Amino acid sequence: MIYETMATQRTPALIIYLLDVSGSMSRAMGKKMRIEVVTDSLTSALRQMVFRSTKGGRLSPRYRVAMLAYSDHVYDLLDGVKSIEHVAKLGIPNLSTQRSTETAKAFIQAEKILMEELPNLQSCPAPLICHMTDGEYTGADPAPIVERIKQIAVPDGPVLVENIFISGNITPEPIADPANWPGIMPETPLENEYARKLRDLSSPIPDSYRAVMLEFGYRLGANARMLFPGTSPELVSLGFQMSAATPVR
């Protein structure tokens, strides 16, 4: 069965974060700026990875992480792929907003990382790209690159692509209870055209990930997509929790 390979010290999971740091990320979300909400959520996801990688007092490197911030350019925040052990020592880098939203450039860089890592991933869980954005791309259309990335596969399954879309109204009704929200299905009506595009680019949530999310307290339904409307800090957090949901030993 696919997406069942557990992340272990010898077969760590690769998670690539693509973080939109365009100018609009300095807008408010509640009492904080969007970029601050993202930093908080990313920190929580990192804590979750550390939590799930700890046996006794020992941090077992079950995850490897790359973090690319993008605007006009792509910035490799960790200078390559690093183990969770390393990231835990460094902490989350500071994120500051820039200007435009060159999403395609970010996914091209992610694709490059995947191709370099692929020979070493054959026994590992399928890699996951967690893309966070708050607006439509500028420049080239990222869709062809994302579709290409989704064709890259390891024995555990094709690369998973997740999108967290920070925006205003995406669903017809506000999501009042993230814990019991079933997720965005292929047929869920979406108010925003870019949200619909992102849904098409988002992988279905594997059952193994849904089971882990249930442990985290989220009841996502079968057939839900890896698209999370970041309309509140809680939903942004849910999206980043998904990125840490690879099954572990």
Partner 1 sequence: MNLRISDTLRKFTGMLPRSTARINQDNIQVSQNSESPIITLTGDDYSFRYAYARSSDTRKASDTGQDYLAIYPGNSFIAFVLCDGVSQSYYGELAARFLGDILLNWLKFYIPETMDVTAIKPLLGSVLDEAVYPGSAMVDRHQLPADIPELLRSVLYDKKRMGSETTFVCCRADLPNPAYPMGRAVFAWLGDSRLRIWDGEIERSSELPGVFETMQRWSTRRGQIGSTVHVHVRPLLGPHGIRRIVSYSDGLSALDDNERLLTNWDIQRLINQTEELPTSDDISFIEILFEPWKSRSEGHLAERKDIRSAKANKDS
Site residues (vs partner 1, CB under 8 A): 6, 8-11, 46-47, 50-52, 54-60, 88-89, 91, 123, 249
CA dist 47 and 210 (Å) reads: 19
Answer for the pair 209, 4: CB distance below 8 angstroms, yes or no: no
Burial tier of 126 (Cβ tally within 10 Å: 0-12, 13-18, 19+): buried
CB 43 to partner 1: min, Å: 9
How many CB atoms neighbour CB 149 within 10 A?
Answer: 23
Output 42 or 190, the one with its CB closest to partner 1: 42
Residue 209 in 3-state DSSP?
helix
Buried b / exposed e along 183-194 (16+ C-beta atoms within 10 A): bbeeebebebeb
Longest dimension (CA), the chain: 48
Of the pair 202, 241, the CB lying nearest partner 1 is at 241
What gap in Å lies between CA 175 and CA 172, rounded to an integer?
9
Q: What minimum distance in Å lies between the beta carbon of 54 and partner 1?
A: 6
Q: Is the separation of the CB atoms in 167 and 231 below 8 Å?
A: yes
Quickly count: other Cβ atoms within 10 Å of residue 217's Cβ. 11
- Shortest spacing between CB 139 and partner 1, in angstroms: 35
Q: How far is the CB of 56 from partner 1 (least distance, A)?
A: 5
Find where tokens 């990192």 sit.
46
Are the CB atoms for 157 and 123 separated by under 8 Å?
A: no
* Inter-residue contact 107 to 142 (CB < 8 Å): yes
- CB of 52 or CB of 210, closer to partner 1: 52
Nearer to partner 1, 37 or 88 (CB): 88
**Minimal distance, residue 46 CB to partner 1, in Å:** 7
Q: Name which of 38 and 149 has its Cβ closer to partner 1.
A: 38
Nearer to partner 1, 59 or 140 (CB): 59
Please, what is the minimum distance in Å from the beta carbon of residue 168 to partner 1? 33
As given in the structure block, the two tokens for residue 243 are 């990125």
Rounded to a whole number of angstroms, the minimum distance from the CB of residue 215 to partner 1 is 9
- Residue 51 or residue 174: which is nearer to partner 1 going by CB? 51
